[in-house]
Amino acid sequence: MLRNVPVLVLDFDSWATNNSGGTIAEFYEDADFRKAVDGAVLILASQEEHGTKRQTIDGVERNVCQTYGGTLCTDHLRMLTEISRDAKVFEKVAKDGAIISPMFVTITPAHEVVTVIHHEQRAPAVVAMVKEAQKRVGNGLARSDYLRLKRGLDEAKQLANASDYSAAVEILEELARIPGDYKPIATARGDLDALEPRGRELMKVAESSWSSGDCAAALTQMDDVATGFGKLAAARDAAARVAAWEKSPEAKPFLANLKADRAARILFVQGRTARRAGDAKRAVTALEKLVHDFPKSRFTPRGRELLATLKPKK
């Protein structure tokens, strides 16, 4: 099952705004309503043609229904046809073979109608029926989590292909924590485990630097695995290895540099994480500190690149 959530059908046709009914716009502005339908599939059904307007959805401008937006009139017209064709749903929804609107219906993924209500409603009444249907269906995957998984898996794949393992691991660990038994979450866990051999390969590179006497390179290479592979076993083993090296006399001249490299990495990762979370202010603070305190660090050029994406161009 893709998401295991109920369907909410909204049919606002012949809506009359009066004192008790409220407005259609109220639904889209209601935070509880938006939160409830994140755990459902929202279907707008209407048997009217409204004309088109332009709307930007997910960054792409397209033609949409002038009255409801989001979708074309042909889509919301088709929805009623689909409902009429689904005999199991239609017999519960229709009165004497006709659909009375306005109408609100919740349906389980198995096509069981949970609740049908007619006439103008306020948002809380519809929120309550969505919650009841969610209870009937059991735990589901929210639409926002589904989209986060879809985008995150793609992003992590690109980062891993570009050998940016630490960024890929951070994204995949976040996605793997989403609760539930859904395919994209299992994919995130699988993609994460698939990075373990990459960590082992990098450890071998660090080991050969160490045995050829390049202690400075060995320390930072091993430290990259220790800090960049999350909770994977390679990270734990690399941390143990770098800790052992730090105690050896050969490493002594390089320990101050290692300490500075770690401090710079922490600031870079803080900035990158905050930027991904949409916290531009926190990202700028961390990255500006990186550029200021560690102008020559290997993380600083990438820190500058991220900063350029965060600061408004003058």
Q: Which is nearer to Zn ion, 52 or 270 (CB)?
A: 52
- Rule CB under 5 A: say whether 99 interacts with Zn ion: no
Closest separation in Å from C-beta 119 to Zn ion:
21
Q: Which helix (H) or strand (E) holds 89?
A: helix 87-93
Q: How far is the CB of 77 from Zn ion (least distance, A)?
A: 8
Query: E strands within the chain?
Result: 7-11, 41-44, 52-57, 60-65, 103-107, 113-118
- Residue 283's contacts (CB-CB under 8 Å, 6 or more residues apart) are 270, 271, 272, 274, 275, 306, 310
* 84 vs 273 by CB, closer to Zn ion: 84
Q: Please, is 216 exposed, middle or buried when counting C-beta atoms within 10 Å of its C-beta (0-12, 13-18, 19+)?
A: middle
Q: Identify any residues that bridge with 64 across adjacent strands, giving them in sequence order.
A: 53
Near Zn ion by CB under 5 A: residue from 65, 137, 251, 264: 65
Nearest in space to 126 (alpha carbons), one of 6, 18, 14: 6
Is the bond leading into 102 cis (omega within 30 degrees of zero)? Answer: yes
Q: Shortest CA distance to 49 belongs to which of 14, 82, 74, 15? A: 74
Q: Report the nearest approach of Zn ion to the CB of residue 299 (Å).
A: 51
Q: Does 73 bind Zn ion (CB under 5 A)?
A: yes
Q: Report the nearest approach of Zn ion to the CB of residue 75 (Å).
A: 8
Which SS3 state, helix, strand or coil, does residue 226 take? helix
Nearest approach in angstroms of CB 65 to Zn ion is 3
Residue nearest to Zn ion according to CB distances in the complex: 65
Rule CB under 5 A: is residue 133 a binding residue for Zn ion? Answer: no
* Residue number, 65 or 156, with CB nearest to Zn ion: 65
Residue 145 beta carbon to Zn ion: minimum distance, rounded to whole angstroms: 29
Residue closer to Zn ion by CB (options 73, 286) is: 73
Nearer to Zn ion, 46 or 115 (CB): 46
Given the rule CB under 5 A, which of 71-79, 97-105, 139-147, 236-244 is the region that contacts Zn ion? Answer: 71-79
Altogether, the residues listed in the chain come to a count of 314
- The contact set with Zn ion (CB under 5 A) reads 50, 65, 73
